[in-house]
Amino acid sequence: MGKKEKIVPAQIEWPTLMLILACYATWGAALWLLPLPLGIIIGGITIALHASLQHEVIHGHPFRGQWLNDLIIWPPLMLTVPYARFKATHLAHHHDEILTDPYDDPETNYLDPGVWERLPRMFQALLRFNNTVAGRLLVGPLIGTIAFAICEWRSRDATIMRGWLWHLPAVAVVLAVVAVSPMPIWAYLVAAYLSMSIIKLRTFLEHQAHERASGRSVIVENGGVFGFLFLNNNLHVVHHMHPRVAWYALPGLYRARRDHYLRRNGGYVFASYREVIRRYLVTPKDPVAHPLWRR
C-alpha cells in the first residue's frame, strides 16, 4: 500500500491572494465606476466569486495562519450567510460519510421521506420546482436562505447565535459602504440575489444519493467560465478527496488521474454546465425525499 500523499501548503499562495484583492477591486468598481445595469451584473458575478473565495479560505488558503485567512475574507458581500456559520457548516459537510444525510449533512437538499410526506402539497410543488435548474436559480436563493435561518434559529445553540451576532455588524459595514456609493441599496440586493443564483448552479448537483460515500460527489469536466467562478469546484470529487489542495491545482490533479476519480465516484460526471442546464432546466434532477433513506 503506497504512502498517503502529504499536502504541504506554501507560506503564501499568491494566485489566491491576488484573486482576493482583484475581487475586492472589481466589487468596488461595480459600486462606484460602472453604469448601474452593468454594475448589478458585474457586482453579482463578483459577489459569487467572493463566496467561492470564502470557501477556499475555509480550507486554509492563502496563508498558513487561519486567523489571517479569516480576516481577509470576512466581509459578507452576499449579506445572508454569516462567515463563521458557513465555515462551521461546511467543515461539517466534509465528513464524506454523512454526505446527503437529511439530518447530518448541513448542505444537503434531500429531506427525510417521512418529513416530505407530511408537507402541504403547495410546499412539495415548490420544492420539486427547486430541484430543477430554473427553480434553483429563481427561487433557490430564497428557499435556501429561509430554510437555513429557520434551522439556525431552532437550534438555540450559543455558538450559532454568536456567529449571527458577529454577522450583523459585518452586514452593517457592507451596507454602509454601499450606501455611500452611487449604487442604490435595492440594486445591490439584486446583485446579491444574482450571486446566490450563480452559486446555486454549482451546488445544484454537487452531491447525489448513493450507497457509497465515494459515489456522491460530481465531476463537471468542462467548467468554462463557471469553473473559474466556482474555483474549479466543478471537479468536486477531487476537492473532497484533497480538501487542502488550492483551487488552481485541482485541474492538474484531475488530468493526471482522471480514470481514478471517475472510478471513485462511479461515473457521476457531466461534460459541462451546458449539459446540466439542457437536461434539468425544467426537469427535476432528483426527488426531494432521499431515495435511499432508511427510517
* Model pTM score: 0.93
- Which of 241, 226, 216 has its CA nearest to residue 109? 216
Average confidence (pLDDT) over 253-282? 97
Distance CA 246, CA 13 (A): 8
pLDDT for position 270: 98
Residue 285: CB atoms within 10 Å: 15
Query: Which residues are within 8 A (CB) of 50 and not within 5 positions of it... i.e. 6 or more apart?
Result: 23, 24, 27, 73, 75, 77, 78, 195
Mean residue pLDDT across the chain: 94
pLDDT for position 10: 60
pLDDT for position 2: 39
Tens digit of each residue's pLDDT (9 = 90 or more) over 158-188 = 999 999 999 999 999 999 999 999 999 999 9
pLDDT for position 156: 82
Is 154's pLDDT higher than 80? Answer: yes
Domains of the chain, residue spans: 14-280
Query: Which residues are within 8 A (CB) of 233 and not within 5 positions of it... i.e. 6 or more apart?
Result: 52, 55, 202, 206, 239, 247, 250
Tens digit of each residue's pLDDT (9 = 90 or more) over 215-228 = 999 999 999 999 99
Is 268's pLDDT higher than 80? Answer: yes
Tens digit of each residue's pLDDT (9 = 90 or more) over 18-56 = 999 999 999 999 999 999 999 999 999 999 999 999 999
Distance CA 23, CA 161 (A): 29
Q: Are 113 and 286 in contact (CB under 8 A)?
A: no
- Which of 256, 248, 261 has its CA nearest to residue 9? 248
Distance CA 170, CA 176 (A): 10
Q: Are 245 and 7 in contact (CB under 8 A)?
A: yes
Query: Which residues are within 8 A (CB) of 224 and not within 5 positions of it... i.e. 6 or more apart?
Result: 272, 273, 274
Cell readout for 218 is 460530481
Is 1's pLDDT higher than 80? Answer: no
Q: Residue 85: what are its φ and ψ, rounded to 5°?
A: -75, -40
Distance CA 90, CA 85 (A): 8
* Helix%, strand%, coil% for the chain, nearest 5: 60, 5, 35
Average confidence (pLDDT) over 68-73? 96
